[in-house]
Structure 1
Amino acid sequence: MQNRLILLLLTVLVGSNAWAGEAPFFPAFTINATLSKGANAVVRSEETVFTVNSTKSATEKVRRVVTVLNEEGKRHARLVLPYDQLIKVDYIKVTGYDAVGKKAKTLKTSDIKDYSNTSDFSLYEDNRLKVADLTSDVYPYTIEIEYQTTSSNMLFYSGWTPLDAEKLAVERASFQVTMPANMPLRYLEQLVPEKVTIQQVGTQQTYKWQVKDLAPVEREPYGPSFFELVPRVRTAPATFEVQGYAGTSETWKSLGEWQNKLNAGRDVIPEATRQQIANMVKALPTQEEKIKAVYEFMQNKTRYVSIQLGIGGWQPFEATMVDSKGYGDCKALSNYTKSLLEAAGIKSYFALIDAGDNNRTMLPDFANMQFNHVILCVPTAKDTVWLECTSQMADMGYTGSSTGDRYSLLITPEGGKRVSTPRFTAKDNSQTRTVQVKLNAQGGGSGVAVTNYAGIQHEDRTGVLQNYKPEEQLKWLYKNTQIPAFEIKNFKLDKVKDQPKLKEELQLELPRLASVSGKRLFITPNLMNRWNSAPTLQETRTHEVVWNMSFHDVDSVEYEIPAGYRAESMPQPVKIASVFGEYQAQVQMKGNKLVYVRQLTMHKGRHAAAKYAELVNFLKQVSRADQQQVVLAAETT
Structure 2
Amino acid sequence: MRAAIFLCGFSVLAATSCFAKSSYPDWVQSSIDVADTVLKYEEDYDAAVLLEESHIEYRGRGEIEETVRRAFHVFDRDGREFATLGIPLSSDEKLTKFNGWIVYASGKVERLKKTDLVEIAVDRDKLKSESVMLQLDRSESMREGTVFAYEYTVSRNQIFLQSGWCFHWEIPVALSRLSIEIPKNWSLQSHLFGADFAEKRVNGSVHIWEARDLDGVEEEEFQPFRSLITGNLVYSVYPDESDLSRYPYLVFRDWKSVAQHMDAVHSERIVAQTALRQKAASLAAGSASQWETVSKICEYAQSVNYLAVAIDLNRGGGYIPEDANRTFETHAGDCKDMTALARAMLKAVGVESYAVAAQIGKDSWVHEEWASPHAFNHCILAVPVGPDAPERSGVVEHPVYGRLLIFDPTTKDAAPGVLPHYLEGRKVLVCSSQDESLLSLPIYGPDVNRVVRHVDAEIDGFGNLIGSLEESNYGANAQRLRKLYRKLKRDDFEDLIRGWIAHGTREAAIEELVCEDFFDENRFDLKVKFAARRYARIMNRGEMLLFSPVFLSRIQWVPPVDEERKTPYVIGSRHLEETLSIALPSGYSLDAFKEPQDLETEFGVFSMELAFGEGRVDVTRQNSQRYTTVPVANYGDVVDYYETISRAETSKLVFKREG
* 1:124 maps to 2:128: yes
Q: Under a length normalisation based on structure 2, what TM-score does the superposition of the two structures give?
A: 0.87
Match of 1:493 in 2: 515
Match of 1:40 in 2: 46
Shift of 1:2: 8.7
Match of 1:290 in 2: 293
Shift of 1:244: 7.5
Q: Which runs of no fewer than 5 residues in structure 2 stay unpaired?
A: 388-402
Match of 1:269 in 2: 272
Q: Is the Cα contact below 8 Å between 1:238 and 1:250 reproduced in 2?
A: no
Shift of 1:403: 2.0
1:106 & 1:133 partners in 2: Cα distance? 14
Match of 2:549 in 1: 525
Shift of 1:31: 4.5
Amino acid at match of 1:363: H
After superposition, residues 323-338 of structure 1 pair within 5 angstroms as 323-338=328-343
* 1:407 maps to 2:427: yes
Match of 1:503 in 2: 525
Shift in alpha-carbon separation, 1:447–1:93, aligned structure 2, 3 A:
same
Worse-matched range after superposition: 469-478 or 368-377 = 469-478
Shift in alpha-carbon separation, 1:308–1:555, aligned structure 2, 3 A:
same
Shift in alpha-carbon separation, 1:100–1:161, aligned structure 2, 3 A:
farther
- 1:513 counterpart (535, 540, 545): 535
1:277 & 1:22 partners in 2: Cα distance? 68
Shift in alpha-carbon separation, 1:41–1:507, aligned structure 2, 3 A:
same
1:63 & 1:571 partners in 2: Cα distance? 62
Shift in alpha-carbon separation, 1:521–1:11, aligned structure 2, 3 A:
closer
Amino acid at match of 2:138: L
1:92 & 1:499 partners in 2: Cα distance? 55
- 2:185 counterpart (174, 178, 182): 182
- 2:357 counterpart (352, 361, 368): 352
Shift in alpha-carbon separation, 1:349–1:22, aligned structure 2, 3 A:
closer
* 1:70 maps to 2:94: no
Deviations 1:252-296 (A, max 9, x none): 111112212322321111234324433543542322112112222
- 2:601 counterpart (573, 578, 592): 578
Deviations 1:438-475 (A, max 9, x none): 11121112111222111111233211211121122223
After superposition, residues 477-626 of structure 1 pair within 5 angstroms as 477-481=497-501, 482-485=503-506, 486-518=508-540, 519-537=543-561, 545-626=568-649
Q: Is the Cα contact below 8 Å between 2:256 and 2:433 reproduced in 1?
A: no
After superposition, residues 212-227 of structure 1 pair within 5 angstroms as 212-218=212-218, 222-227=222-227
Amino acid at match of 1:613: G
2:155 & 2:633 partners in 1: Cα distance? 47
SS at match of 2:250: strand
After superposition, residues 339-378 of structure 1 pair within 5 angstroms as 339-356=344-361, 358=362, 360=364, 362-368=366-372, 369-378=374-383
Shift of 1:540: 7.8
Q: Is the Cα contact below 8 Å between 1:527 and 1:557 reproduced in 2?
A: no
Shift in alpha-carbon separation, 1:537–1:267, aligned structure 2, 3 A:
same
Shift in alpha-carbon separation, 1:34–1:417, aligned structure 2, 3 A:
same
1:186 & 1:495 partners in 2: Cα distance? 51
Shift of 1:600: 0.6
Shift in alpha-carbon separation, 1:582–1:74, aligned structure 2, 3 A:
same
- 2:446 counterpart (426, 429, 435): 426
Shift of 1:610: 3.5
Match of 2:261 in 1: 258
Deviations 1:329-386 (A, max 9, x none): 1111101101111222221110010012x25262111112211111101121344222
Shift in alpha-carbon separation, 1:10–1:249, aligned structure 2, 3 A:
closer
Shift in alpha-carbon separation, 1:443–1:361, aligned structure 2, 3 A:
farther
Shift in alpha-carbon separation, 1:292–1:220, aligned structure 2, 3 A:
closer
Q: Is the Cα contact below 8 Å between 1:560 and 1:593 reproduced in 2?
A: yes
Q: Is the Cα contact below 8 Å between 2:561 and 2:639 reproduced in 1?
A: yes
1:398 & 1:571 partners in 2: Cα distance? 42
SS at match of 2:341: helix
Shift in alpha-carbon separation, 1:475–1:154, aligned structure 2, 3 A:
farther
2:53 & 2:617 partners in 1: Cα distance? 68
Q: Is the Cα contact below 8 Å between 1:197 and 1:208 reproduced in 2?
A: yes
After superposition, residues 26-37 of structure 1 pair within 5 angstroms as 26=32, 30-37=36-43
1:4 & 1:488 partners in 2: Cα distance? 55
Match of 1:198 in 2: 202
RMSD: 3.0
Q: Is the Cα contact below 8 Å between 2:546 and 2:652 reproduced in 1?
A: yes
Match of 1:476 in 2: 496
1:408 & 1:65 partners in 2: Cα distance? 37
1:604 & 1:276 partners in 2: Cα distance? 42
Shift of 1:387: 1.6
Shift of 1:35: 4.1
Worse-matched range after superposition: 177-186 or 2-11 = 2-11
Q: Is the Cα contact below 8 Å between 1:435 and 1:556 reproduced in 2?
A: yes
Q: Is the Cα contact below 8 Å between 2:96 and 2:152 reproduced in 1?
A: yes
Shift of 1:60: 0.8
2:574 & 2:590 partners in 1: Cα distance? 33
Shift of 1:129: 0.3
SS at match of 2:280: helix
Shift of 1:15: 7.5
Shift of 1:171: 2.5
Shift of 1:541: 6.6
Match of 2:175 in 1: 172
1:291 & 1:564 partners in 2: Cα distance? 62
Identity of aligned residues (%): 20
Shift of 1:70: 1.8
Deviations 1:156-190 (A, max 9, x none): 644332332x2x22223321111123332221113
Shift of 1:297: 3.2
Q: Is the Cα contact below 8 Å between 1:192 and 1:232 reproduced in 2?
A: no
- 1:437 counterpart (437, 450, 457): 457
Worse-matched range after superposition: 397-406 or 622-631 = 397-406
2:44 & 2:350 partners in 1: Cα distance? 61
> How many residues align structurally?
625
Q: Is the Cα contact below 8 Å between 2:271 and 2:344 reproduced in 1?
A: yes
After superposition, residues 42-121 of structure 1 pair within 5 angstroms as 42-54=48-60, 56-103=62-109, 105-118=110-123, 120=125
1:92 & 1:416 partners in 2: Cα distance? 43
Q: Which runs of no fewer than 5 residues in structure 1 stay unpaired?
A: none
Amino acid at match of 1:500: N
2:107 & 2:225 partners in 1: Cα distance? 35
Q: Is the Cα contact below 8 Å between 2:160 and 2:249 reproduced in 1?
A: no
Q: Is the Cα contact below 8 Å between 2:166 and 2:230 reproduced in 1?
A: yes
Match of 2:397 in 1: none
Q: Is the Cα contact below 8 Å between 1:570 and 1:587 reproduced in 2?
A: no
Deviations 1:532-567 (A, max 9, x none): 133244898765x33241010112111111122222
